[in-house]
Chains A and B, each alone.
With several copies, the nearest count.
Chain A
Amino acid sequence: SASGRRYGLLRLRIDHSQDIHPGQFAMLKPRGSVEPLLRRAMAYYKVEPGPASTLVEFIYQIVGRGTEALARLRPADEVECLGPLGHSFDLEAATARQVALVAGGAGSPALFLLAQDLVRRQIPTRLFLGGASHGDLCGLADFTSLLGAERVFTATIDGTHGVSGFVTQPLEEYLTEESANGREVLIYSCGPDPMLHRVAAISAERSLPAQLSLEAPMACGYGICVGCAVPVKNSCPEGFIYQKVCTDGPVFWSHDLAWEVA
């Protein structure tokens, strides 16, 4: 992209059928590779189920040695893929609501399966998609053809697509309008931490429910290392405990998070 960021698309054929829900993720690394050691967490972007095999797709931003190793994969290479992992988005909560999907950076792939499900359930859904530049709006074409261009709002820092600036700006305009119309909105969001913090603040200010899909450094992805801690409100004396992003999340209700302590 014009911002200098690079992305890759990884398409895998899994040799058995898998039941994958929106917001779940997999832990990936090239088969047999020992450097880096740890697998990398990636949200499922697309899933084509089949009786004996499943086709899955991931979009990843190339940011370090793990994603660079993924980028070196070539057709027919084998990949170690542990998944599906984690809790999916709560779709029931969207019933009888308007939905605002808010995505930034490499967070949008995590929302595409969700958008498909929402459309299937005929829940009115808008996407607010932000990025540094036009090329950073991951999955823009897919979202646009799914939701319709009039339901996709973009923002780029360099102004190469949509409004200039942060995506939370069109989001707030939309929320103000809906609130004026007396319509209840549910937010689903995934993206860089600063964006999620802003979304959490907006959701708190406006008393709107929001489900956030978080990231954390993960060694295992399946609950055994306790490396992926996130502070969550609790009735204990300290007021919070640490939960695991991988198995307690990655999707959390915004109002449950105790970010201020970390």
Chain B
Amino acid sequence: MAVSLISDSPMPDSINHSDLLAVEIAGVRFANPVWTASGTCGYGLDMAGLIDLNRLGAICTKGLSGTPLRGNAPWRIVETQGGMLNAIGLQNIGAHAFIAEKLPALREYGARIIPNVFGYTIEQYIEAIEILETGEGIHAYELNISCPNVKAGGESFANDPRQAAEVTAAVKKVATRPVIVKLSPNVTSIAVAARAVEEAGADALSLINTAIGMSIDINTRRPRIANVTGGLSGPAIKPIAVRCVFQAARAVSIPLVGIGGIATVEDALEFIIAGASAIQVGTANFYDPSASIRIVDGLADYCRHHGLASIRELIGSLRLDE
């Protein structure tokens, strides 16, 4: 069978959208609102062979801890309809190695650098942040608060607004850079969670992290993922994510970064209209590595086509009959 082919070729040279797409979040200026999501772009450099990192607004690194983590046993991922489950187990090289081995090369690119940070105790968050404070060229931190708090019964920090606020406040004390707190959708009220971390001093919110899911192999009767449950991501969760951004936008006044199933410019626009000042491309990086760059170009096209002087005019521009 002869089949012609479209290979993944390098993107055309940087197109400068200048101010059209620039956004400011927590005092940091981003050339555009398109970021890559934590855990879906490695430490950024891993994508350098496929896309021009200079064209991204920011790169959120794989979750970093003070000490390296080995991660979960395989299988770690399974595809579901419209999405995938993952339980990587936060495997990472540790904050020290990130600074020594990744940061110098990453700094060479135009994209803002946002380490994603996690811990199983508040002290571990602090430890990671303190190490990262010594690194140069970092623009903000993103706190993954969806990890179990081992000192408080093993429930996730995100499950309890008080614990979410506590870790936020603790990190704010030691961080000299803006802190973006990443919210979990696995809560009864995203508004309550958003307000709690806003009051605790968060500079911005990113949302959503994955929804907890599970998949079972009906032949072996075992979970398909060694960790039993995993995080659901991809287009399947997009409607949940848009709803969360919409609800958070009405609950807080700090900027929001929208995440969840974003694969096209239309997806990105939904989040921006719902109230996001920036968006992150996650799972789409896996199956469509140039998705983020096409979104950058698509946003510029949309602005021009709709006569917008800046993408900022679009943020939270949802029309409701009220």
Do any CB atoms of chain A lie under 8 A from CB atoms of chain B in the complex? yes
Seen from chain A, the residues whose Cβ lies within 8 Å of a Cβ on chain B are 8-16, 18, 29, 31, 34-39, 73-83, 216-220, 222-231, 238, 241-242, 261-262
13 more contacts with CB within 8 A, not counting A82-B7, A83-B7, A226-B76, are: A8-B1, A14-B5, A15-B6, A31-B6, A73-B3, A75-B3, A77-B4, A217-B79, A226-B39, A229-B73, A229-B88, A229-B91, A238-B70
Question: Nearest 7 CB-CB pairs, A to B?
Answer: A227-B77, A220-B286, A224-B42, A219-B286, A12-B5, A82-B8, A223-B46
With A217-B77, A230-B74 in contact, is A15–B285 under 8 Å at CB? no
Q: Are B4 and A76 in contact (CB under 8 A)?
A: yes
Whether the pair B74, A262 counts as a contact (CB closer than 8 A) is yes
Given contacts A35-B81, A223-B42, A241-B70, contact A73 B1 (CB under 8 A): yes
**Are A80 and B6 touching (Cβ within 8 A)?**
yes
**Interface Cβ pair total, 8 Å cutoff:** 147
**Is B148 close to A, CB under 8 A?**
no
The answer to whether the Cβ of B277 comes within 8 Å of any Cβ in the partner chain is no
B 64-78 to A, binary, CB cutoff 8 A, 1 in contact else 0:
000000111111111
Contact, CB under 8 Å: A262 / B86: no
The interface size bin for chain B is 35 or more
> Are B75 and A225 closer than 8 Å at their CB atoms?
no
In the bound complex, residues from chain B placing their C-beta under 8 Å from that of A226 are 39, 42, 62, 71, 76, 88, 91
Whether B50 is near chain A, meaning CB under 8 Å from some CB there, is yes
CA distance A73 to B1 in the complex (A): 9
Q: Which residues of A contact B42 (CB under 8 A)?
A: 223-224, 226
B1 & A11 in contact (Cβ 8 Å cutoff): yes
Task: Indicate if the CB atoms of A11 and B41 lie closer than 8 Å.
Answer: no
Known interface pairs A11-B1, A78-B4, A222-B50. Does A37 touch B78 (Cβ–Cβ under 8 Å)?
A: no
Tell me, in angstroms, the Cα distance from A18 to B7 when the chains sit together: 11
Residue of chain B at shortest CB distance from A236: B70
- A81 neighbours in B (Cβ, 8 Å): 5-8
B 82-116 to A, binary, CB cutoff 8 A, 1 in contact else 0: 11101010010000000000000000000000000
B84 near A15 with CB under 8 A, answer: no
Give 28 A-B contacts (CB < 8 Å), ordered by A residue.
Answer: A11-B1, A13-B3, A13-B5, A15-B5, A18-B7, A34-B82, A35-B82, A37-B283, A38-B286, A77-B4, A79-B3, A80-B7, A81-B6, A82-B7, A83-B7, A217-B75, A217-B78, A219-B283, A219-B286, A224-B42, A226-B42, A227-B76, A227-B86, A228-B74, A229-B74, A229-B76, A230-B74, A262-B73
Chain B proximity of A20: nearest CB distance (Å): 12
Q: How far is the CA of A128 from the CA of B41 in the complex (A)?
A: 40
Question: Is the Cβ of B8 less than 8 Å from the Cβ of A227?
Answer: no
Contacts of A225 in B (CB 8 A): 39-40, 77, 86, 88, 286
Is B218 an interface residue when CB atoms closer than 8 A count as contact? no
Q: State the CA gap A36–B235 with chains docked (Å).
A: 11
Contact A222 B46 (CB under 8 A): yes
Determine the chain A residues whose CB is within 8 A of the CB of B298 once the complex forms. Answer: none
Q: Given A15-B7, A220-B285, A222-B289 in contact, is the A229-B71 Cβ separation under 8 Å? A: yes
Shortest CB-to-CB span from B217 to chain A, Å, is: 12
Within 8 Å by CB of B41, from A13, A79, A224, A238, lies: A224
**B47: Cβ under 8 A from any A Cβ:** yes
B286 neighbours in A (Cβ, 8 Å): 38, 219-220, 224-225
Contact of A224 with B47 in the complex, beta carbons under 8 Å: yes
On whether A9 and B287 interact (CB within 8 A), knowing A230-B74, A242-B70, the answer reads no
**Is B18 interfacial (CB 8 A cutoff)?**
no
- Selected from B3, B83, B283, the residue in CB contact (under 8 A) with A76 is B3
Chain A residue with Cβ nearest B73: A262
Chain A neighbourhood of B83, CB < 8 A: 37
Would you list which residues of chain B between 11 and 52 have a CB under 8 Å from chain A? 39-42, 46-47, 49-50
Please measure, in the bound complex, the distance between the C-alpha atom of A216 and the C-alpha atom of B287, giving whole angstroms: 16
Which A residues are in CB contact (< 8 Å) with B283?
Answer: 37, 219
The chain B residue sitting closest to A9, CB to CB, is: B1
Nearest CB of chain B from residue A27's CB, rounded to whole Å: 8
Q: Tell whether, in the assembled complex, residue A11 and residue B3 are in contact, meaning their CB atoms are under 8 Å apart.
A: yes
Q: Cα distance A114–B42 when bound, in Å?
A: 31
A28 closest partner in B (C-beta): B5
Determine the chain A residues whose CB is within 8 A of the CB of B2 once the complex forms: 11, 13, 75-76
